[in-house]
Amino acid sequence: MLTALTGVHGDRADAVTVAGRTASYEELLGAARQVAADLAESGVPAFAVTATPTLETVAAVVGALLAGVPCVPLPPDAGPAERGHILRDSGARPIEVDFARRSDRTPDPATAAARTPDDPALILYTSGTTGAPKGVVLSSAAITADLDALAEAWQWSAEDTLVHGLPLFHVHGLVLGVLGALRTGSRLVHTGRPTPEAYAAAGGSLYFGVPTVWSRIARQPQAAAALSGARLLVSGSAALPAPVFRDIERASGHRIVERYGMTETLITVSGRAGGDLHPGTVGTPLPGISTRIAAEDGAEIGELQLTGPTLFSGYLGRPEATAAAYTEDGWFRTGDIAAVDEKDGVHRIVGRASTDLIKSGGYRIGAGEIENALLDHPRVREAAVVGVPDADLGQRIVAFVVAEGVSGAELTDFVAAHLSVHKRPREVRFVEAVPRNAMGKPQKRLLLDGAAPDPT
């Protein structure tokens, strides 16, 4: 998986920059080998990495891959509930990582990565509609298949400088944004935070962002114009609004390539470099991926289902949830509603089957997880959480609660502290009761219909 670290592209003094610190391949490999040796000595079954945007995180992940120990990245701001759940569920343990400590001893990266292509490489925690996040087990075979398919689709090579500032505990920032650079041999500049100013200053050829990042760049035309010298701009993790696509094109001359994926499937559908790109479309399946639309008789839209070599190995320790994610004939059920153009096979994602999965700032957030966190507060008697359209975040988390003697800001802070900051409700509304159907299930449509429109 880590082709660049085998020296095929030579070394490079500025191979990887993270939040202003730069390392060569040799330095990264030395630090990662030390991590691999420490992991082997510690005997931990899985490696919990607090995924701050730092060189230490990159060395930790690479070290785990070299050692063949599954890596479990943790959101750096995860509170005790979220962190505790992930550590308990995965059995992962942290070990200390010091980028200044280097080893020149094997394991050799090429052979160590190739030895166990179907073994778990990464376990990424992601929210479902109910309950606590599940561990998505990804093999090196799946990751490598995805990165090679993307390299072909985007003509991504060692000539590129990849720029992004996305979190290192999800597929977008970690698999594409770090391992992708180490496989293709492109230089990597991680900006620490994905701000318009940092993207504009980075001088890259290939840029990754979630729609919120592109929409913030679009609102600063000077920053967007600074990207005109790039080769390719790519958006994913949530739907890119058409006005943002057009504003970026106007300011930078680039039509953003949109691609679609999930933690469980990696990236499966994408526009192509040099292809015909249109707002609201996510391109065609990557090589090796098959898709189908499970539509009611005669309908053109329905659930997107897919198969291919990039799919996960299952939810950690949850065979029933894994089985439920597939149809009887073995296709993965994405839960996304899509349409496919009959003539050119271009896919459009038109919505989600469940209102209980929220996409905010490109983060996938389960309503049930937030509701459970709110119900842990002693003052909260009922809670129902929904995603409301938001010009900046795509959707913003709105919590309807029945509670007394506590403020909305206190409840927001409570969720931010127990889970993680991006899971906090942006708005808390106090209601007399949560409307429920005869079965006692919250009627979220009623809450959504009553929610005020996006003030921006």
Residues in the site for ligand AMP, rule: CB under 6 A? Answer: 126, 171, 236-239, 258-263, 282, 334, 336, 349, 352, 359, 364
Minimum CB separation of residue 237 from ligand MCA in Å reads 4
SS3 content of the chain, % helix, strand, coil (to 5): 35, 25, 40
d(CA 381, CA 375): 7
Measured in whole angstroms, the distance separating CA 351 from the mean position of its chain's CA atoms is: 18
Q: State which residue, 62 or 349, has the beta carbon closest to ligand AMP.
A: 349
> Considering only CA atoms, which of 160, 86, 108, 20 is closest in space to residue 316?
86
- Binds 325: which of ligand AMP, ligand MCA, none (CB < 5-8 Å by kind): none
- Binds 14: which of ligand MCA, ligand AMP, none (CB < 5-8 Å by kind): none
Minimum CB separation of residue 348 from ligand AMP in Å reads 9
Minimum CB separation of residue 400 from ligand AMP in Å reads 23
Q: Distances in Å between the alpha carbon of 386 and those of 370, 429, 442?
A: 10, 11, 11
Q: State which residue, 109 or 196, has the beta carbon closest to ligand MCA.
A: 196
Q: State which residue, 142 or 380, has the beta carbon closest to ligand AMP.
A: 142
Q: State which residue, 123 or 262, has the beta carbon closest to ligand MCA.
A: 262
Measured in whole angstroms, the distance separating CA 440 from the mean position of its chain's CA atoms is: 33
Q: State which residue, 263 or 284, has the beta carbon closest to ligand AMP.
A: 263
Tokens at residue 422, please? 């991006």
Dihedral Cα 150, 155, 158, 160, nearest 10 deg = -100
Q: State which residue, 25 or 214, has the beta carbon closest to ligand MCA.
A: 214
Minimum CB separation of residue 368 from ligand MCA in Å reads 18
Tokens at residue 299, please? 């309908």
Residues that bind ligand MCA (CB under 6 A): 166-167, 170-173, 194, 210, 212-213, 236-237, 261-263, 361-363, 412-413, 416, 421-422, 424
Q: Which residue has tokens 């937030």?
A: 370
Omega of the bond prior to 107 within 30 degrees of 0, cis?
A: yes
Minimum CB separation of residue 165 from ligand AMP in Å reads 17
Q: State which residue, 169 or 331, has the beta carbon closest to ligand MCA.
A: 169
- Residue 300: exposure state from Cβ atoms within 10 A (0-12, 13-18, ≥19): exposed
- Binds 359: which of ligand MCA, ligand AMP, none (CB < 5-8 Å by kind): ligand AMP
- Binds 361: which of ligand MCA, ligand AMP, none (CB < 5-8 Å by kind): ligand MCA
Minimum CB separation of residue 13 from ligand AMP in Å reads 34
Minimum CB separation of residue 364 from ligand MCA in Å reads 6
- Binds 349: which of ligand MCA, ligand AMP, none (CB < 5-8 Å by kind): ligand AMP
Minimum CB separation of residue 51 from ligand MCA in Å reads 11
Measured in whole angstroms, the distance separating CA 431 from the mean position of its chain's CA atoms is: 33
- Binds 120: which of ligand AMP, ligand MCA, none (CB < 5-8 Å by kind): none
**91-108 burial by CB neighbour count: b if 16+ within 10 A, else e?**
ebeebebebeebbeeebe
Measured in whole angstroms, the distance separating CA 438 from the mean position of its chain's CA atoms is: 37
Pairing mode, strands 314-315 and 394-403:
unpaired
* Helix ranges, 319-398 (H): 319-324, 367-375
